[in-house]
Amino acid sequence: MQSKRIAARLVNFLFVLLVGYVVALGVLRLFESHLIYFPNDPGRLDGDWHPSGLPVEDLWLRASDGVKLHAWWIPADGATFTFVAFHGNAGNISHRADVYRFLRETPANVLAVEYRGYGRSDGAPSEAGLYRDADAAYQYLVRTRGIAPRTVISFGQSLGTAVASHLAANSEVGGVVLEAPFPSISAVARRVFWFLPGVQFVVAGQFPTSRHLARINAPLLLAHCEQDPVIPPPLEEQVYEEANPPKYVLRVEGPCHEEASLFAPTRYRASLHSFLAAVSSTESHN
């Protein structure tokens, strides 16, 4: 009788554990969008929308599904290239003004895109929606501005690396620059929620950066911080290993995430100039 009671308790414990596991996965699935997108952190409209010394021009774009998007056009004298910039998860484009200033000083033009549901843009964020937003920005550059596709550099930070790589996989660009990239949301989920086996199958929005990069043959520059507190370096290394050549990497010491250009501006600028020279060389041979 004693062994039967122990067995019954063990079965009950395992049942409760299984139910808790299923409930946890369900909660993650239900609140997935809240775990991926943070447009209100620290505040949706917080920030300096007129940064000193940066010639920002407000633009309003229209995505293919009709969503109205806000963006910054930041021209640079003598620019050969144009960065179409996709920021990371939290906040808005005003929080990245220093990064755009750094890119402009290349010199290069910058089109900073505000995702749907972020900043002053309409709508609500979704994986497919962010891809549409990127395409709207690209179409603006090529069709409205008349910028040659081979001079467009798809630039992404953190979450924006998946958006930038998707754009480059589906449109002609001169090169791709990714800061703090990740192979996919499911890969990140496996590390963050390591105690929930199978969590990667629950994540609907996959953002498969590695899959996009497999379709890209344009030059790639990958920059990441060796003490990144958000995206573990092994995930960033995986992205680099799975990308096609020509590919280059810049590793920055320090606990930074999207701030590599601010932590090591001299090294980053040198790497960026070398990368753009490689893009020009690739273009001249095509």
> Which residue in the block uniquely carries the two structure tokens 């949706």?
44
- Is the pLDDT at 12 greater than 60, yes or no? no
Compute the distance between CA of residue 203 and CA of residue 185 in angstroms, rounded to an integer.
7
How would residue 123 be classed by pLDDT, with cut points 50, 70 and 90? very high
Q: What is the CATH number of the domain that holds 240?
A: 3.40.50.1820
- Is the pLDDT at 144 greater than 90, yes or no? yes
- Is the pLDDT at 198 greater than 60, yes or no? no
The answer as to whether 9 is a domain residue is no
Q: Which residue has the higher pLDDT, 232 or 18?
A: 232
The answer as to whether 213 is a domain residue is yes
Mention every residue, 6+ apart, whose C-beta is less than 8 A from residue 35: 28
- Is the pLDDT at 186 greater than 80, yes or no? no
Q: What is the mean pLDDT of the chain?
A: 86
The answer as to whether 8 is a domain residue is no
* pLDDT tens-place string over residues 206-220: 899 999 999 999 999
pLDDT score, position 18? 44
The whole-model pTM stands at: 0.85
For the ranges 18-27, 227-236, 250-259, the lowest mean pLDDT is seen at: 18-27
How would residue 22 be classed by pLDDT, with cut points 50, 70 and 90? very low
Residue 88 C-beta-side C-alpha neighbours within 13 Å: 19
Mean pLDDT within 118-124 = 96
> Which residue in the block uniquely carries the two structure tokens 């952190």?
41
The answer as to whether 7 is a domain residue is no
Bridge partners (DSSP) listed for residue 82: 109, 152
The answer as to whether 18 is a domain residue is no
Domain range for 258 is: 31-284
The answer as to whether 105 is a domain residue is yes
Mean pLDDT within 68-96 = 96
What percentage of the chain reaches a pLDDT higher than 90?
Answer: 69
Q: Which candidate, 99, 151, 111, 159, places its Cα nearest to that of 135?
A: 111
The answer as to whether 99 is a domain residue is yes
Tally of structural domains, the chain:
1
Going 157 to 163 to 166 to 171, the CA torsion angle's sign is: negative
Q: Rounded to the nearest 5°, which phi and psi values hold at 86?
A: -115, 115
Max avg pLDDT among 48-62, 173-187, 195-209, 229-243: 48-62
pLDDT score, position 232? 86
